[in-house]
Amino acid sequence: MKSPLKSRPLHNPGQSSDGYIQDFIIDKISPPILFAAGMVFVAFMEWYRWFTNSPPIPELMTAIAISAVLYAIIRSMILRKKLKALKLGRDGEIAVGQHLDLLREKGAKILHDIPGQGFNIDHVVIDESGIYVIETKTYSKPEKGQTNIIYDGGKIIVNGKEPERNPVIQVKAACSWLKELLEKSTGKEYHPKAVVLFPGWFVQPTAEAKNSDVWVLNPKALPAFISKSKSQLKKDEVNIFSYHLSRYVREESK
C-alpha cells in the first residue's frame, strides 16, 4: 500500500511559523511545567510515606516542589510574551495569504512559506505583471490613539519607533535569493519586486518612498498596485517560474 499522492503538497501560509510555535512550546515552555509537576508528585509521595509511617522528609520535598512551581510560573510568564508575538505573526501570514489567494481569479500564481537558507519567504506572487516577494509584518497596535507607519524609501517607522530589524533589508535579501534560485532553475533572469505588508495598519509613504524599489503597503492596497503595473511576463513564463518554484518547495519539504 502507498499514498495516492504523487507529490508533496505545497506549504500553507504561516506553516513555518506554526512549526516554530510548536517547537517553542515543546522546547521552552513544557520543560519547566513538567519539572514542576514532577516535583509536586515527589512531594505527594513523601507525604504518603509520612502517613504510612515510612521515614519521611516532607518539608524538604515540599520546599523543592514549591520552588519548582514558582520557577515554572515565572518562566512561563516570560515566554508567554514571545509566544504571543509568534502567534500574532502566524495569524498575520494566514490573513495575508487568504487575501492574496483572491489574485488567483486573475490568473496569478500564489505560493506561501518558501523555505530559504536560514529564513523563509512568507509569500510569492507570480503574475504577468511580475514576480512579487512579500514579507508580512504583523505588529500589535495600541487600543487608543493614532497609529500609523511611515515609510521614507529606506526605513520604516512604526508609531514613532524603528523596528529592531529593518523589513526593507530583509525583503531585499529575500528577493536576491529568489532571483538567484530561479535563474539557476530556469535559466531565465528576472528581478522580483520586493513588498512589505502590514496587516491592519495605515501606511503613509513620504515623497522619497515613491522612488523606492520596495513597496510598503497595507495588504488591501496590493491588488491595485499589481493591476496598475505593466505586463512583464508572458503566460508561459508565469507557468515556468511557478512550476520550478513549486518543485523547489516540494523538494525542500522532504
pLDDT tens column, 13-33: 666 677 667 777 767 777 777
> Who has greater pLDDT, 123 or 40?
123
What separation in angstroms does the CA of 169 have from each of 13, 134, 153, 176? 22, 12, 11, 11
- Quick one: pLDDT at residue 162? 87
pLDDT for res 9: 46
pLDDT at position 55 over 90 = no
Q: What does the pLDDT read at residue 3? A: 35
Report how far residue 112's alpha carbon sits from residue 186's, in angstroms, rounded to the nearest whole number.
20
- The neighbour count for residue 188, using CB atoms within 10 Å, is 12
- Consecutive H or E run containing 151: strand 149-151
Please state whether beta strands 109-115 and 130-136 pair in parallel, antiparallel, or not at all (unpaired).
unpaired
Determine phi and psi for 169, rounding to 5 degrees. Answer: -65, -40
163 Ramachandran zone, left/alpha/beta (phi>0; psi -120 to 50): beta
- Determine the average pLDDT of the residues in 188-206: 90
The answer on pLDDT for 105 being more than 90 is no
The confidence score (pLDDT) of residue 5 equals: 34
**Is the model's pLDDT at 193 over the cut of 90?**
yes
At 241, list the grid cell: 517560474
The angle, 0 to 180 degrees and rounded to 10, between the axes of the packed helices 167-186 and 235-253 is: 100
Question: What pLDDT does residue 12 have?
Answer: 64
- The conformation of residue 254, written as its DSSP 8-state character, comes to -
Q: What is the pLDDT of residue 13?
A: 67
Q: Is the pLDDT of residue 224 over 80?
A: yes
Average pLDDT, the chain: 83
Query: How far is the C-alpha of 167 from the C-alpha of 154, rounded, in Å?
Result: 10
State residue 96's pLDDT score: 85
Asked whether the whole model's pTM tops 0.75, one would answer no
Which is nearest to 138 in space by CA: 181, 90, 76?
90
Of 108, 100, 134, 247, nearest to 182 by C-alpha is 247
d(CA 192, CA 125): 10
